[in-house]
Amino acid sequence: MQETDEDIARLCLLGDHKHYAVLVERYEVPVRALIERLTDDHEDSERIAHHAFVDAYERLGECPLENGRFALWLLGIAAEHVHAHLRERGGDCRLPRALALRWRKKARKTRKTGDEAGSPL
């Protein structure tokens, strides 16, 4: 049986950091696709995705580790990085910021209520 994202995140939090590569492998394509859709910039999407994965790793302790919310949480972080990227370039950054806030709010709400999660992907 395949370990859940939350199981892998728990292992990372317990010090077994090599498992994070599994999460990166699982979500590299969806995260890059989201970033490319929001930025319309293939070249910058790799750099933004890298920063989002590093940030998520550093913030694993904030991740809601129940009900399958890892993906939603990770995509929220990616949207935050897109927002920052667009803000730096002086572009319209309302949509990525709104997505980041909505996904983080859903992740927190599910964490509090214990509802089943649907994949955002």
Task: Give pairs for 100-104: CB < 8 Å, separation 24+.
Answer: 100/76, 101/76, 103/72, 103/73, 103/75, 103/76, 103/79, 104/73, 104/76
Percent of the chain with pLDDT over 70: 74
Residue 43: other Cβ atoms inside 10 A: 8
Q: What is the dihedral of CA 53, 55, 56, 58, to 10 degrees?
A: 120
pLDDT at residue 118, rounded to an integer: 47
pLDDT at residue 2, rounded to an integer: 82
Domains detected in the chain = 5-113 (1.10.1740.10)
86-121 pLDDT, tens digit each? 888 776 656 656 666 666 666 666 555 555 444 444
Lowest mean pLDDT among 66-75, 81-90, 100-109: 100-109
CA dist., res. 32 & res. 111, Å (int): 26
What sign for the dihedral angle of Cα 100, 91, 33, 53? negative
